[in-house]
Structure 1
Amino acid sequence: MRVLQLVTQTRGGPVDHAVDVAVELVRLGHESHLVGPAGSHLALAAERGVVVHVADVRSKADVTGAHAVADVIDRVWPDVVHLQDRRAGLVGRVLAARSSRPSVYTLHGVPDELAGLVPGNLPVAPRRARDRWTYLGLERLLAATPRSVVVTPCRALAAYAREQVGIRSGRVRTVPNGVGPGWLAPPAARTQRTNVTATWLGLMEPVKRVPDLVRAAARVPGLALELVGDGSERGRIEAVVDEEGSIRDVHLAGYQSDPSPYLRHADVFVLPSAAEACPMALLQAMACGVPVVASRVGGVPEIVRNGVDGVLVDAGAVDQLTAALRLLAGDAGLRARLGAAGRERVAAHFGIEHTVRALLDVYEEVSA
């Protein structure tokens, strides 16, 4: 099968996912194409046998970028076009329909203004009057594109797609994200350190609630904190770190194109978000055998079984987050058991081979 994926970003969970899918398609003998702006993600995919095309769609009104993608679609003439982020879904489904190509759009998440409409998520940003039309109405219209299916990476987002957007059940499929085989390589021996280190990875945006983690960590004596990522909230996070003077060991690592060394040497991975779907960072940490503490929001409880693969807490409940960190910081045996169970769960259910096998079924369905 000839599959063309479109991304309009250069980093983030959807981009990592698209690269992993593209590489796995090559491994299975399919013709795999990836289109997007120039960056390390395209270079990595090309090194692994994916045919890459540079086309930068910078906004939904970027006519030049849309024409470049249309040219690639017409040149490649794929059996299916797979759109892997929100802007790609907006532009790509129109372009696929123009060329009479079937399309699949993975709804990886929702705008912050609509986060509270996903079962289990907290509200993140005030909803404006126009949001219902701008996001829900437009998505409902695009989902009706002929020979098109919406894929969600968790059941919570599937419920949102059906009940809030109004997409017919027959046009929604749930396919969890998966990690590439490199993440499931045998865990490295952990560096012996004086303090237990809690690691966070992601975009520093309000939805991630990193200040909650800083405040909770400050209440756990001897706990070190490593924050891997960057974003609009970095200044606020640095201010909270300064306020919580009891934290002696905090490392703001900034954005890392390869975060694997940070995850592989973490003692605990923490995801205190107010809203999530099927977060890649969580799956990657579990694949590395790192015990996790996460908010029970969105699709997270579909991945982490509380007390079995990790510890779940209520989003925004700093006292619960503190208690979970204190529990794991003080019990190396529990950390080892939860980490091993999480790794087994990802290997059994959230490897990229499981994801691509399910996606191929969807591809066959829409291209029939």
Structure 2
Amino acid sequence: MRIMQIVSAGDVNGAVVHCALLSRELVRRGHEVTLVCRPHAWAAQRVADLPVEVVYSDLHRWPMDELRRVGEVVRQRGIDAIHTHMSSAHAFGVFLKMRTGVPCVATAHNRYVQLHWMFNDFVIGTSAATTRFHRRYNLVRRGRSKTIHNFIDEQAVANVPPGTRERLRRSFGVGDEHVLVAQIGDVIPRKGLLHLVRALPQILSAAPHVRLLVVGDVKNSAEYMARIKSEARELGVAEKLHWAGHRRDIADVLSAVDAVALASLEESLPLSILEAMASAKPVVATSVGGLPECVAEGETGFLVPPGKSDALATALGKLASDPARRQRLGQAGRQRIADEFSLAAIASQIEDVYRSVAAKGARRAA
């Protein structure tokens, strides 16, 4: 098949990684892939070694110059299905569908109320919670939507060079005697980092060797970041926090940590937790969105209520004090990813969606 992938985010985030990995897997399976993205986008770099036609676009819908230009690419290449990722791409894809008649599939990586959802031929929710949200609030029909979980490239986390763990721990100022817990994701209020910082005093009272590594982009949340740092100073834990900023070497970073936490107040199905599990790291996450669909309580990690710092502290304390448990839960998480969240298995489900919408589109055209 000839598939057009459209992604609107330029730098690395879960949706961009999803789009790039899926594009690579589709090419491996013999499909022709066209990638539409903004100039200098990370996704384009990720497929540069493959026979993927990259079309750069600002994805503006008005004036209609970009819709006409990309629409011409759709016609010239005989695209069978359009697949969109992130809000601007979703809206652009729906307009492109209306202009060309080519069916459009949207993957819902987040939960927002927006008009475009109901006009897609199919909506993929990356978690059951996300699928339910879009059916309820965006009026997406049950017959035009389903849950297909996020996936990760297991090989990417497996191919970490020897010595990476030791090198990165030194760069973070962490010794072998420390238990390093990481939260990976944008430093924004809905990721709940403030609640994790508030859990630190309780954690440190029982396990003073714990350190917290924060990996993520501050984006437009400088005020939130300042609040976190101020509260960390007031709690006396500022020196126990290590700020790594935005990183692209997540597999390497995961090799350096001992456990991963995610204190989110709302989520879909974050790649950071799937990547942590694939790296055999035990996880502590909040029981929101799709997280209960991947984290098995007491088997691959622990689930806690959102906004409850004491529950975070208790769960992380169990991991900090028990290396054998960390290893056992980490290995179980790795196996769960291999069994249920592998790239190959999930890509096959997405292929089925493409075939279905393309067949319906062909019948409409006839």
Pick from 178, 197, 204 the counterpart of residue 214 of structure 1: 197
Give 1:53 deviation, angstroms. Answer: 1.8
Q: Using the alignment, how far apart are the partners of 2:308 and 2:73 within structure 1?
A: 48
Partner of 1:171: 144
Per-residue Cα deviation, 1:274-325 (whole angstroms, up to 9, x for no partner): 1111111111111111110000001110111100111100000110001011
Percent of residue pairs bearing the same amino acid type: 33
1:264 aligns with 2:250: no
Paired residue secondary structure (1:18): helix
Q: Using the alignment, how far apart are the partners of 1:51 and 1:60 within structure 2?
A: 21
Partner of 2:9: 9
Give 1:64 deviation, angstroms. Answer: 4.8
Instruction: Tell me if structure 1 keeps the 8 A contact 2:229–2:238.
Output: no
Q: Output the amino acid matched with 1:162.
A: R
Partner of 2:128: 155
Partner of 1:24: 25
Q: Using the alignment, how far apart are the partners of 2:154 and 2:332 within structure 1?
A: 17
Structure 1 residues 172, 235: closer, same or farther in 2, change over 3 A?
A: same
Instruction: Tell me if structure 2 keeps the 8 A contact 1:225–1:250.
Output: yes
Structure 1 residues 63, 168: closer, same or farther in 2, change over 3 A?
A: same
Instruction: Tell me if structure 2 keeps the 8 A contact 1:264–1:285.
Output: no
Residues 346-365 of structure 1 aligned to structure 2 (within 5 Å): 346-365=337-356
TM-score, length of structure 1 as denominator length: 0.87
Paired residue secondary structure (2:88): helix
Q: Using the alignment, how far apart are the partners of 1:49 and 1:200 within structure 2?
A: 36
Q: Which sections of structure 1, spanning at least 5 residues, go unmatched?
A: 112-134
Pick from 47, 55, 58 the counterpart of residue 56 of structure 1: 58
Partner of 1:142: 119
Give 1:182 deviation, angstroms. Answer: 2.5
Q: Output the amino acid matched with 1:223.
A: V
Number of residue-to-residue matches in the alignment: 339
Q: Output the amino acid matched with 1:203.
A: D
1:223 aligns with 2:206: no
Q: Output the amino acid matched with 1:253.
A: A
Per-residue Cα deviation, 1:45-69 (whole angstroms, up to 9, x for no partner): 1224433221122x66574544443
Q: Which sections of structure 2, spanning at least 5 residues, go unmatched?
A: 167-174, 360-366
Partner of 1:196: 179
Give 1:39 deviation, angstroms. Answer: 2.4
Partner of 1:366: 357
Q: Using the alignment, how far apart are the partners of 1:278 and 1:326 within structure 2?
A: 25
Residues 198-347 of structure 1 aligned to structure 2 (within 5 Å): 198-221=181-204, 222-231=209-218, 232=221, 233-347=224-338
Q: Output the amino acid matched with 1:264.
A: S
1:88 aligns with 2:65: no
Q: Using the alignment, how far apart are the partners of 1:340 and 1:50 within structure 2?
A: 36
